[in-house]
Structure 1
Amino acid sequence: MVTRIPRHGYPPSIDVENDIDTAAGLEGLTETVNWQLEEFDSSPDLRARALSTALALANARCEVDPDASQFETWEAWVTAMQVGSAWFAMASRPEGSTVTCRIKEKDRQLPTTGPQPHVNAGSWVTAFYLALVCRDVERLNELARVPVSLLRESGATLDEYIYSWVETLQSFWLGRDDVATHLTAAVDGTGPNSARYADQNEMSLILYPPIILFYRVLRADPAEFNEALVDALNWHKTYWTWDDDRQISNRGFVALGPLAIACLAKERGLPVEVESEYLPKALLDFAWRGEIDT
């Protein structure tokens, strides 16, 4: 039996026709992404903002294309994935050289950077989620080999659980035997009142659910997995309807973490029996397989 969870809409206080011009917003975001990519190799400041902008465009595309059935939507998600992976490719190599990264159907010679503030455990998780959604095995392999010590050198102030979560995903992807140890530490680190730096509301409703979903994937029980997926999407909706500012943010249109783990579940043969605009169908089903040379 399929459970349907509809995506939230705009709050009643917002006059959509007058206050939100979706077409103009998409055009502006597209222009910003293209501009940042033009300067990606030469402007550290723009490069540091490129992932958030590219992901904003990918999410915004799903407002008007909730199933991700349009090529432009798939292109936006692939571009976000390529940008995130490029950050870590650049940071993982010794400074003073270059690394070839493909972004938006162009091979770019990018300068290596060493540790950077934006190359942290939080952005690593985002990059890994994007690579799972795009089923990019090569980039997943590269991300899984990024040293956790490099992420700690970013200087970012983050809760300790996230390093355990990174190590969980890396160990799983590389077939190591310490997945359970790291996963237990990640779960323990996201418990009630555990957040020191993250907002506890975000910890409980956004950061924790992909971890328990991953645990359900490892158990390979379809009923348990789909029950956890329903919970994750309902918590996502609760978080992104908490107030008007969140409710109009394009960041809430897609549940990235649950989507990524659901894509992993499908690749491992688990049925996904939940339908929602938070899980764009074409992304979940990998309907655009092979359409872009990533």
Structure 2
Amino acid sequence: MMKVERAYKPEFDKYVPLEEWLASPHRRIKKIPINIVKRKDNLLRFAEVNIELARWLTWEIQTADIEQESATGLKYASKMYAAFFECAREPQKTSTFKTYDLPEVNWDGLGLLEQGYINPSEWFDAYFLALITRDTDSMEALATFPVETMRQSATTAGPVSYKLVEVFQAYHHRTSNFPTLLNECMAMAMKQGNDWALDIAMGYLETFAALTTNAGFDFNEVLAKNLQRQEQYQIRESGPDHVPIDSFIPLQLLGMACMWHDRGNEVSVESDSLPRFLIDGRYF
């Protein structure tokens, strides 16, 4: 087994206790049944708060109750994320969404593109969250979401981001052009050359290549390398006064670890950022 220690370690005793970091998402989650019916962008906000809670819970002692709480929140988040993207697929259409025991809601997608909500970074989180939670319905919906619709969003991304979506969707559908798209995207990321392209995009691509091709990569070695590399990126991006919370659970790398596990392979990387109960799919 390869043990990967986190570089970032919150000083809970010195600054903000863990209980305080958990209090805000706990408080907002309690209000979800009331507030989810108020406006459609709450689908996205409440998905994100459940992910935030799961990330902070990785610093707790991992009892069965903590694992269950984390897994349950991610299950809800996956459905909410997918519903949010479905709203934007046909903005004029009103659709009905029911997330487990939450109130049924009816939303159209008017304004979502104009407000910049529908972009590749949100799609990456949504799709790999569906992979982690083994939410096949959400995976299928996201895998068919048009990249051209994302390009119409007020929040624009670079060409590598859109190409990444195409790569993941091509693999999902097992299209013959997947290897070509993978290689093209790698070349684009190398040419772009900034920290995001080299540390994040290439990290996704290298790990995905190790997962899906016979290119000679060792999946666990690549996973361990990119887990550390992406944490360092998040620490730099957050700066000294902010917590690199995205590194606590890197959804894309965790999703790929789940795929590797579900194919009958061993995930030999041990890290608090890759909770074993999520890799195993224990609560899904």
TM-score per shorter chain, which class?
Answer: 0.7 to 0.9
- Superposition deviation, residue 271 in structure 1: 2.2
Q: Which consecutive unaligned segments of at least 5 residues does structure 2 have?
A: none
1:77 has 2:71 as partner: no
CA distance in 1 between partners of 2:216 and 2:280 (Å): 17
- Superposition deviation, residue 236 in structure 1: 2.4
The residue that corresponds to 1:182 in the other structure is: 181
Percent of aligned pairs sharing the same letter: 21
CA distance in 2 between partners of 1:122 and 1:149 (Å): 15
Q: Secondary structure at the match of 1:17?
A: coil
Which letter does structure 1 place at the counterpart of 2:134?
Answer: R
- Superposition deviation, residue 131 in structure 1: 0.5
The residue that corresponds to 2:27 in the other structure is: 31
| 1:180 to 1:223, Cα distance in 2 relative to 1, 3 A | closer
Alignment of 1:140-151 (within 5 A): 140-151=139-150
Tell whether the 8 Å contact from 1:58 to 1:76 is kept in structure 2 after alignment. yes
| 1:105 to 1:211, Cα distance in 2 relative to 1, 3 A | farther
**When the two structures are superposed, what TM-score results if normalisation uses the length of structure 1?**
0.84
The residue that corresponds to 2:260 in the other structure is: 265
CA distance in 2 between partners of 1:113 and 1:46 (Å): 13
| 1:57 to 1:37, Cα distance in 2 relative to 1, 3 A | farther
- Superposition deviation, residue 111 in structure 1: 0.6
Alignment of 1:181-220 (within 5 A): 181-191=180-190, 194=192, 200-219=194-213
CA distance in 2 between partners of 1:213 and 1:177 (Å): 20
* 1:197-234 Cα shifts (integer Å, max 9, x gaps): xxx32332233212211111112579611121111112
Residue from 262, 277, 281 that aligns with 2:276: 281
Q: Secondary structure at the match of 1:70?
A: helix
- Superposition deviation, residue 44 in structure 1: 4.4
The residue that corresponds to 1:3 in the other structure is: 2
CA distance in 1 between partners of 2:190 and 2:215 (Å): 23
The residue that corresponds to 1:19 in the other structure is: 15
1:173 has 2:172 as partner: yes
The residue that corresponds to 1:234 in the other structure is: 228
Tell whether the 8 Å contact from 1:67 to 1:281 is kept in structure 2 after alignment. no
The residue that corresponds to 1:292 in the other structure is: none
* 1:140-164 Cα shifts (integer Å, max 9, x gaps): 1111111111111112221111111
Which letter does structure 1 place at the counterpart of 2:162?
Answer: Y
